[in-house]
Structure formats: C-alpha cells, structure tokens
Amino acid sequence: MKAVSTRHLSKTYWFYEKAGGLSGSLKALWGGRKTFVEAVQDVNLHLEIGERVGIIGPNGAGKTTTLKMLCGILHPTRGDVEVMGFVPSLREKEFLRSITFVTGQRNRLFWDLPAQDYFEFCRVVYEIPKELYQRNLRSLTELSDIGGMLNIPQRKLSAGQRKRCELVAALLHDPKVIFLDEPTNALDLINARAIREFIKDKGKEGRHTIILTSHNMADIEQVCDRVIIIHQGRIVFDGGLRNLSSTKGFKKQIRVVFNDRPDGSALEKLGQLTKSQGQEICLEVDPSEASSVASHLFSHFSIQDISITEVPLEKIIESIYRESTSEKAGR
C-alpha cells in the first residue's frame, strides 16, 4: 500500500471579477464575470511509507492547496487521491488517526494551558491508550528537548518552544503520514535548526512518511531525500535531491587558491574559468570530472587551498521556474 497516491489531482477556484469602488461592487452583483483559477493541475504523486519529501514552489504555486487536499480539508475538483488507503475527503476516523497536519502559519495550542494539559487533551481526542501515550510522550519529549517547559503556559514560551510543543502534540497518536506546511516559518536560526533536527530524527525511524513544504532551502536540504517542485499548479520536477543539479546539467564549482600566480591558459583546458584574481581562480566542471580535475591540480600546481561545491539549490530551482514559465508561454 502506498502512503500517498494521486491521479490527475486538480483543484479549481472561481470568483467574480469586479471593478473598484461601490459602483463596481453593485455591477458585480448582477453582471460579474466568473473567473476560474487552476490552483493545482493534473498532479500525480506516489509516495512510499518512510519517504521524506520536500515540496517546493513560489507563492501561489499550489503547495498548500495540494497538502490540504491530501489531508481532506479541501475537496479536489478532479482526479483521485488516496492516503494510507483512505479517501481523504471522507474524513473517516481511522484516516484522521493515521495523519497529522502542522502549519507554521497557525498555532494549534491553547494559549493559557501548559503543554502537559494540551497533550492530555490530545490523548482523549485521539483515544490513545494510556500506556502508548506515556511511551510516545517520553520519547517525543526527549527527542524535542521540551522536558523543562511542560508545565509552563504556552503564552510564556518563545515561538520556537511553542513550535516544538506543537510538533510533539501532533505526533502523540503516532501518525503514519506527517504533513508539515512551512514548519520553521518566522523562527530564528537556532530554533529553526532544532525543529529540522527533530523532524529529521523522526523521519529516520522509517515508519513515517514526511511531506514538507518550505521556502527555506535549509529545511529541504537537511530533512528531505526527495524533492517535488510545483510551479503554476503543475509538477515540473520530481526526483532525488542529490540528482537535482545533475539532472538539469549544472556543473560543480572548483575554487583554488595557489601559492603562486597560475598560468591561466593551462587552467582553461581543465574547465570553464569563471574567475581569475591574483592567486585565486574558480573553475566550472562536469560533476563526473570534478575529482579528476582536483587530482590534476594537486599534482601539477602548488596549492594553498581548494574547495569543490555544488551550485546553490536556490539557483537550480530558479532556473526550473524560468524554464517552466517559458514552456507555458510557448504553448
């Protein structure tokens, strides 16, 4: 059984166009033009149990809409969707026990209650057996490092502390599919890193499918093994994170600092010379040739420092957005 399976999943919104001002509102009551917006178009997804998947896309690409259809919050306009064998829009009790949905845009905790009381509330709502509840609570409390804040009202905690408590609450019933929408939104570097480590450690257990959307590339790079890029409602890339740069033909960057000023003509034979400033140069080479070029440099030159890096993920994704927009404009 697949954790998530969709076929031609689509969601269309509509609204009445209207001009500004009172007169525009009155005209829209009787003669407004109906406009349709394809928020999600023909999405086909097949995710296995244990996968950690990042969904990337610009604002309005359809990421959150897709997640909400997978959770059953929104009904698809067209297509089929199954999550752990259930149809999400039916919102069956067993389905709700098998998933959780956490968003960085909204706090699900009760403002004046300490986390301990809210966790007990979750135990009752999800009908978690006490023995299982205690075991999960101990494990999650240790993993998220919130042991010292269980009895503190939520309003007295920082945003990062509340987010960790919220994640623990969302996982107490041991869901099989975990949906996370911008989990590190508006968090500082330290708290964002703590949240990522918590999610990654949970994913390493191999019993949960984690589907995460984020504009923070560190979330995707550090948590996910597979990345899905959505642009204008369509999937434009679906594959391994490590293969993203090679799939799109991007080269590796080799930065070298020599002990003496190098011969530029000799270096141009090794790759594309993108920078030459004094004793420092930068070369672009095919990923398959990076190691051999580095070995050649070490054996033929006196080197002070060398580094080999991938093209930044943001640059790769930007190129995919531009390519997708160009293809759509050309149709």
247 pLDDT higher than 70: no
Residues 120 and 226 both lie in one domain: yes
Same domain, 155 and 280: no
pLDDT, one tens digit per residue, over 75-94 is: 999 999 999 999 999 999 99
Number of structural domains the chain divides into: 2
Whether pLDDT at 97 is above 60:
yes
Interval 129-171: pLDDT, tens:
999 999 999 999 998 889 999 999 988 998 888 989 999 999 9
Candidates 61, 83, 60, 63; CA nearest to 71 is: 83
321 contacts: CB under 8 Å, gap ≥ 6: 58, 231, 236
Distance CA 244, CA 242 (A): 6
In a domain, 33, yes or no: no
Nearest Cα residue to 270 out of 259, 261, 278, 256: 256
| 218 shares its domain with 84 | yes
What predicted TM-score, i.e. pTM, was given to this entire model?
0.83
Rounded Cα gap, residues 84 and 106, in angstroms: 26
- Residues 182 and 145 sit within 8 Å (Cβ to Cβ): no
Q: Is 318 part of a structural domain of the chain?
A: no
Q: Which amino acid is at 49?
A: I
CA distance 228 to 54: 6
Cα 109 from Cα 95, distance rounded (Å): 22
Report whether 178 contacts 100 (CB < 8 A): yes
Query: Are residues 185 and 206 both part of a single domain?
Result: yes
Give me the sign of the Cα torsion angle 251, 234, 61, 17.
positive
Report if residue 268 sits inside a domain. Answer: yes
- Average pLDDT of span 202-221: 90
Percent of the chain with pLDDT over 90: 53
Q: How far apart are CA 33 and CA 193, in angstroms?
A: 47
Place 104 in a pLDDT band, splitting at 50, 70 and 90.
Answer: confident
Q: Where residue 283 sits, what CATH number does that domain have?
A: 3.30.70.980
3-class secondary structure, 276: strand
Within this chain, do residues 146 and 69 fall inside the same structural domain, yes or no?
yes
CATH number of domain containing 208: 3.40.50.300
pLDDT of residue 245 exceeding 70, the answer is no
Q: Hey, which of 105-109, 234-238, 315-319 has the most confident mean pLDDT?
A: 234-238
Q: Are residues 86 and 51 in the same domain?
A: yes
Q: Which of 199, 226, 245 delimits the end of a domain?
A: 245
In a domain, 31, yes or no: no
In a domain, 219, yes or no: yes
Note the pLDDT of residue 159: 85
Domain boundary among the residues 245, 268, 284 is at 245
- Whether residue 32 is contained in a domain is answered as no
Is residue 7 included in any domain, yes or no? Answer: no
In a shared domain, residues 262 and 205: no
Measured at the CA of 141, the angle between CA 140 and CA 146, to 5 degrees, comes to 135
Q: Are residues 79 and 180 in the same domain?
A: yes
The answer to whether residues 64 and 90 belong to one domain is yes
- On whether both 166 and 196 belong to a single domain, the answer is yes
Do 156 and 287 lie in one domain? The reply is: no
Integer Cα distance of 275 and 265 in angstroms: 13
**pLDDT reported for residue 15:** 83
pLDDT in tens, 249-262: 678 889 999 998 88
Structure token pair of residue 236: 């434009």
Q: Give the model's pLDDT for residue 29.
A: 72
Closest CA to 256 of 236, 240, 271, 241: 271
Residue 3 lies in a domain: no
Dist. CA 168–CA 198, nearest whole Å: 10
Q: Say yes or no: 239 and 258 in one domain.
A: no
Query: Measured on CA atoms in the order 114, 119, 125, 131, is the torsion positive or negative?
Result: negative
Q: Are 208 and 178 in contact (CB under 8 A)?
A: yes
In terms of residue numbers, what domain contains 268?
Answer: 251-309
Where do we find the tokens 């301990």? 116
Mean pLDDT of 12-33: 78
User: pLDDT at position 118, please?
Assistant: 93
Average of per-residue pLDDT across 107-123: 90
Least confident of 35-44, 99-108, 154-163: 99-108
How far apart (Å, rounded) are the C-alpha atoms in residues 107 and 219?
A: 19
